[in-house]
Structure 1
Amino acid sequence: MTADAPAHAAAPAPFGTPETPRVAVRGEARLEVDPEIATIDISIGARGTDRRSALDDLTRRNNDALALIKSYGDAVEKLTTGSFSVNPELTRHGRGERVRAYHGRVNVSAQLNDFTALGELTTRLADLELTTVNGPWWALRPDSPAHAEARRQAVREAVQRAREYAGALGADLAALVELADLGAENAVPFTRAPAFAQSYGGAPAPGSAAAAPPALDLEPQRQTVHAQVNARFTMTPPVL
């Protein structure tokens, strides 16, 4: 005779039993916090009757803008150059076309953590030749402590809600079975606004000392941080 195969342990019931009932709840938290960073986009333009003069002007203005932004030191966390273009402007000439002028443009993005410096920098940039400034767009850093705090609050709410359900049945929570994260990112992404400052002025007269423009008073937009979790617990048999 062959020995009987060992009996396998019974798989746990997926939905609980009368002896170990389960309770499933959702925990949620929503925090309103101050932003940590702000981003502005700077668009620098140039126009010339020939390609080389347009490129020379664009290079000079781009260097001036970058030098101004970098002068703010640690207040600027990130500085990147985006798209660059030089395009001919065509006009009708007899039966054909000819190049009337060349237009150049380069886009730069700057991320700042000092909002006082941000207000001053935006107006100084907007005071440059053929320069347009868009923004600011407020945000939290991906590793902001606000995200972790929202997750902790969501978990605490889930435990409290499950305990209240169990208590309504005269039972107590016994063990955590599952905790599922439904996402703890910003519920409302920062909104891109139209340009708030732009300058198309010409160069100041040689030898003139142009006064610096007044700093723009910016009110940071508070950020919403949202976290949700699903939690399942076992509890002691209820008193029915």
Structure 2
Amino acid sequence: MAAHTPEDAPAPLPYGTPDTPRLAVRGEARLEVDPEIARVFVTVTARGTDRNAALTDLTRRNDEALTLIKSYGDAIEKLETGAFSIHPQLTYNGRNERIRAYHGSVTLTAALNDFTALGELTTRLADLELTRVAGPWWALRPDSPAHRAARTQAVREAVQRAREYAEALGARLDAIVELADLGAENALPPTPPVMAGYAPAPPDPGAAPAPAPALDLQPQRQTVYANVNARFTMTRPAL
């Protein structure tokens, strides 16, 4: 008698058999958790009729913003410089073109993990000369435990749902044959920014400006999603 090879074995039925039915369910989880970081976007600008003067002003304002942000120490989890630009503003007089002024800007991104300092830093940045502040954007870290908690809850729900279906048929779960992650976490759109705008110049350049009051910023809770598809085998139903 010839020996049977794995190629000779019958392919498993995709929907199981009467003695070993398959059961497909989806497990879902939705958690609301506190944010872990807040991102603030800062844009410093400069404008002048002389290119070198505009660059000098832009460099000074960029240094002022960086120094202020770094002064908050460990509250700043990450500080990055984004886009830098300087370009001429042209004016047309008949067929001739001439440069009217130069515009420059530098964008900074600061991520904070201490929300008690966030309101004060935001208003102090907005109080700088020709500085625009946007944010905060609340977020979780990519390795946040909240993601694992949501995935674990989704799997447990899938098992519980499958067990309830099996018990309704007078059967019980036997084994799991497939578990598929749908990758549906954090499907919400980003939070709209709070615009702090440009700060007006102080009325008296010779006098020390009064400190800007700190904004009372309330952290926005984050929603974490997880979805899984699971397939089980169960014992023969008692129909």
The TM tier, using the shorter chain, reads over 0.9
Using the TM superposition, name which of 129-138 and 81-90 deviates more: 81-90
TM-score (structure 2 length as normaliser): 0.93
2:220 matched residue in structure 1:
221
**Partner Cα distance (1:70, 1:130) in 2:** 19
How well do the aligned residues superpose, as a CA RMSD in angstroms?
1.8
| Secondary structure class of the residue paired with 1:27 | strand
Matches within 5 A, 1:1-240: 4-6=2-4, 8-93=8-93, 95-193=95-193, 195-201=195-201, 205-206=205-206, 208-240=207-239
Q: Measure how far apart 1:80 and its partner are.
A: 0.9
SS at match of 1:162: helix
1:119-167 Cα offsets, whole Å, 9 max, x none, are: 1100000000000001111111111111100001101110010000000
Partners of 1:187 and 1:107 lie apart in 2 by 27
- Paired residues of 2:202 and 2:209 also in contact (CA < 8 A): no
- Give the 3 Å change call, closer, same or farther, for CA 49–200 of structure 1 in structure 2: farther
Partners of 1:88 and 1:203 in 2: CA distance: 30
Greater shift after overlay, 182-191 or 107-116?
Answer: 182-191
- Indicate conservation of the 8 Å contact 1:158/1:231, yes or no: yes
From the superposition, tell whether residues 102 and 203 of structure 1 become closer, same or farther in structure 2 (CA, over 3 Å). farther
- Stretches of structure 1 lacking an aligned partner (at least 5 in a row): none
CA gap of 1:156–1:172, structure 2 versus 1, over 3 A, is same
Distance 2:203 2:136 in 1: 26
Shift of residue 191, structure 1, vs aligned partner? 2.1
TM-aligned CA deviation for residue 5 of structure 1: 4.4
Kept in 2: contact 1:188–1:223 (CA 8 A): no
SS at match of 1:116: coil
- The answer to whether the 8 Å contact 2:89/2:100 transfers is yes
AA matched with 2:198: Q
* Paired residue secondary structure (2:17): coil
Distance 1:9 1:95, change over 3 A: closer
Displacement of 1:10 in angstroms is 3.4
SS state at 1:115 partner = coil
Cα distance, 1:183 vs structure 2: 1.3
Q: Quote the sequence identity (%).
A: 69
**Structure 2 residue matching 1:25: 3-state secondary structure:** strand
Amino acid at match of 1:189: P
The alignment partner of 2:35 has SS state of coil
Structure 2 gap ranges (5+): none
CA 84–204 in structure 1, closer or farther in 2 if over 3 Å, else same? farther
After the TM superposition, which segments of 4 or more aligned residues of structure 1 sit over 4 Å from their partners? none
Describe the superposition over 1:41-66 as per-residue Cα deviations: whole angstroms up to 9, x where unpaired: 11101111200100000000000000
